[in-house]
Amino acid sequence: MKIDIQTYTDQFSQRRGIHFNSAGITPVPTVTAATIDRAVTRMREGTSLHDADLLAEARAARVTLAGFLGTDPSHVAWTPNCATALSIAALGFPLRPGDRVLTLDQEYSSNFYPWKVACERSGATLVSLPHDADCSVDEARLLESIVPGVRIVAVSWVQFQTGAIIDLVRLGEHCRQQGAFLVVDAIQGLGQLPFHFDSLPVDFVAGGSHKWLCSINGQGFFAAKPEFMQVLRPIAVGGGTFNRFGTFADPDAGMESSARRFEPGGFGFVPVLALGASVSLIEGIGVKTIEGRIGELSYKLRKGALELGIELVTPAGQRGGITSLRLTPDHETAFLQRCEQERVALVKRGGFIRLSPHAFCSENEVDRVLDLLKETRA
C-alpha cells in the first residue's frame, strides 16, 4: 500500500528526543512494534501451535526483502547480523596463496576483519588502500589497484564515517573486466538510497536491520549472484544446509541449491518478521521519497553548519544522510554534553561528529541541533 511522507512520519510518533543517528541505530516504527508484539504473543501461547503461520510469514518476509533488494528470494539468506554475512563471503571464498583481496583502510571493522582473517588462513594478501586527507574515496586509485591477481574487492557502498558513496556500477564493471568479484557492505545505504542488486555488477551484498531500515538489532542478510554462490562454501553446516529440517539425516542428500544452504539451523522469527514489516513500510513510501526527504534535511543541516563557520568533512552536496563535522576539542565536548542533556542521538566517529537524520525527522529538529552547535561554540 502506497503512503505519503506524513503517514510514514506518523509511524515514528512515539519516539522521544531527536534521532540523528540513523547510521547507528534507529527508532522502530509502530507497524514493526505491532508485528513484534503479535509474534511474541503467539510464542507465549505456544510456538508449536502457531509454527505453520510463523513459518509462512517468515517466507513472506524473505520475498519482501528480496523484492526490496531487487533480486530473487532464492538468492537471499538470513544471518544473525551483517558481520556474519560478510564472514560467510570472506571465509567461504576459496582464496589461495598469491591471491589478493583489495579493500579500503577506512572500512568499518565488520568489513575488514573477516577479510584479514580469511587472508591469514589462506595465505592470500590483504591490500588496504590508504584514505586521502579529507577521508574521501579516491575511486580512480581504487580502480587502478584492481589488476590481475585481485580476486576480491570488498568495500562499503556508503562509508560509515563520512557518508562517501562509491559508484558501484563503475567499480563493478571494472572488477568484471579484471576477473575480480565485488563484495559490498551496503548497510549504510539500504533504506536511504535506491538499490537494485540484479541490475548492478555486484556479486555479493550484505546488510543489517537496525540502521536505515529501522528495525530491531539482530537480523542480517545477504544476496549473492549465482556465479559467486557456486564457488562459496558454507562456513557453518546443519540441517538447513541440506534442506533436512525436522527429519533424519540422509547421507545421500545433496546440498540445498539456493542461498538457504548458508542457513544451517533455525532463525529467529521475531527479528525476521520485524525486518519484513519495516521493509514493507519503506516499500510503501518508496526509497526515492525517503532519499529526497533525507536530502532536504541534510542540505539544511550542512548549510547551517557552514554558516556557523563549522568545518564540514562531508561535502555539502553529497547524497545521503550522513553529515560529519570537525569541531575544536572544547566545542566538541560542550556540544556532546548538551546533546546528551537534550536527548539528541548522534555519535562521534574517529575525529568527527556524525549526524544522520532520517526521513521521519523534522526541519525543527535540524534547527535545534544547529542552535546547540551555535550555543556551545567557544
Top-tier CATH class for 5-28+286-375: alpha beta
Q: Is 123 helix (H, G, I), strand (E, B) or coil?
A: coil
Closest CA to 67 of 173, 189, 195: 195
Distance from the first to the final alpha carbon of the chain:
50
Give residue limits of the domains in the chain: 5-28+286-375, 32-284
- pLDDT value of residue 225: 98
Q: Are 76 and 222 in contact (CB under 8 A)?
A: yes
Q: Is 307 helix (H, G, I), strand (E, B) or coil?
A: helix
Model pLDDT for residues 338-362, shown as the tens digit of each residue? 999 999 999 999 889 999 999 999 9
C-alpha–C-alpha distance, residues 210 and 159, integer Å:
16
Q: Are 80 and 70 in contact (CB under 8 A)?
A: no
- pLDDT value of residue 45: 95
- Mean pLDDT taken over the chain: 96
Topology of domain 32-284, CATH? Aspartate Aminotransferase; domain 2 (3.40.640)
- pLDDT value of residue 248: 83
Mean pLDDT of 223-236: 96
Task: Give this prediction's pTM.
Answer: 0.96
C-alpha–C-alpha distance, residues 306 and 311, integer Å:
7
Q: Is 209 helix (H, G, I), strand (E, B) or coil?
A: coil
Degrees, nearest 5: CA angle 242-246-251: 40
- pLDDT value of residue 1: 79
- pLDDT value of residue 135: 74
Band (pLDDT 50/70/90 cuts) for residue 133 is: confident
